[in-house]
Amino acid sequence: MGDIVTGDTATGNTGTGYSADEMMTVTASRALRDRMTCFVGIGLPSEAANLARATHARKLVLIYESGTIGSKPGRLPLSIGDGILAETADAVVSVPEIFNYWLQPGRIDIGFLGAGQIDSFGNINTTVIGADYSEPKVRLPGAGGAPEIAASCREVIVIVRQTRRTFVERVDFVTSVGFGDGPGSRQRLGLTGAGPQKIITDLGVLEPDPATCELVLTGVYPGITVPDVKDATGWDLQVSADLSEIPAPCPSELAALRSLHATMPATQGAAR
């Protein structure tokens, strides 16, 4: 599904009692509300969605690409094919039905995506790194359902660790369209969803400017400065005049997230 999350490992403690990944995951979970339908990928997107359902959005409807609707896993799933998703779902349908009936007609509120690269207009690359597609420097996992999610969900949230290697002025390959070349691109391409509305990183939150569609820094985490974020961005990142400091995770959010992590096999926990 293109739910790759790359960049420098940010799982160590920040000296604040929580890690950068925990801050990022909690921030993403707060963007979700009760009764939303949410198309979820594995990894940080799944952690954020399941954390929201375990805390403030207990009626959040989780939809996975494998065809499960309304899954209520008691632990973090290991993949979109994890049996716990089907066992706890309200319904299980075919993959074509998920895409043809639920996703493409715009019936899903939020799509969660990751990125190998993301550019100033929110376009995502999860295909290749390097100018030559046939002989890339790195071949990434590929598109999966990400292009359809980016095109048709009512809005998209991207979760990705922020480095200059990941946040580039223009992606090497457009796997999933954000705002293309700027205003009007999505409309010209016939994309019905609103596109990426939040880019949640381990440093803060970026959102598209309503006029230019270029990503703008709108929030930073405690202890993070604007120069920190600019230094990790491969273009001249603009900063909102209303820049805010995003609240740190509260004890109940951290406890719920760590309880979810505790359900993972030891090898999965070591891989984080």
Question: Cα separation of 121 and 181, whole Å?
Answer: 7
Question: Cα separation of 59 and 74, whole Å?
Answer: 14
Reduced to 3 states (helix: H, G, I; strand: E, B; else coil), residue 150 is: helix
Reduced to 3 states (helix: H, G, I; strand: E, B; else coil), residue 61 is: strand
Question: Cα separation of 238 and 220, whole Å?
Answer: 13
Which residues make beta-bridge pairs with 114?
Answer: none
C-beta neighbour count of 97 within 10 angstroms? 14
By the 8 A CB rule, do 119 and 170 touch?
yes
In sequence order, the 6+-apart residues with CB closer than 8 A to the CB of 142 are 2, 126, 127, 175
Q: Cα 67–161–225 angle (5° rounding)?
A: 140
Catalytic residue check, 148: no
| Pairing verdict, β 117-118 and 238-245 | unpaired
Q: Which of 22, 65, 148, 214 is catalytic?
A: 65
Dihedral in degrees, nearest 10, Cα atoms 265, 270, 271, 272: 100
Question: Cα separation of 135 and 173, whole Å?
Answer: 13
- Residues catalogued as catalytic: 65
